[in-house]
Amino acid sequence: MAEIEGQLQPRPEPRRSFTEEFKREAVRLAAERGDVSAVARDLGINESVLNRWKRQLQQEAEHPGSQSRPFPGRGNARDEEMTKLQRDNARLKQDNEILKKASEAIFDGRVGIFTNRPL
């Protein structure tokens, strides 16, 4: 329990993750039974979650190939280009930090070019 302004508050439950197979099966069951709310209740998920999965599968069926998978996730980027850009950005940030430290060392006199002492 977390304490907020002297009151005990319940900690939020961690997010659950579901496999693509589970999502497809849940949507299939809802379509088969015709009762989304009952299927959601039986599976222990919110009805809005099941409706979102249903919409995602319908969009994938209407526009095949627009995404590699209808349920991206599990830490995988949806787009290879985005992954490449994130990797390049991280490398450039690291290079920038190295250059900052080097310039501080040079101008603080810790490296010989701008010091009065002989090398």
- The per-residue pLDDT for 46 is 92
Domain spans in the chain, listed from the N-terminal domain onward: 1-76, 78-119
Task: Give the chain's radius of gyration (CA, Å).
Answer: 27
- How far is Cα 71 from Cα 59, in angstroms, rounded to an integer? 11
- The per-residue pLDDT for 69 is 57
The angle formed by the CA atoms of residues 50, 70 and 35, to the nearest 5 degrees, is 20
- The per-residue pLDDT for 110 is 63
- The per-residue pLDDT for 78 is 63
- Which one is the CATH code of 1-76: 3.40.50, 2.40.50, 1.10.10, 3.10.450? 1.10.10
SS3 of residue 4 by DSSP: strand
pLDDT at 64 over 60: yes
The residue with greater pLDDT, 13 or 84, is 84
pLDDT at 25 over 60: yes
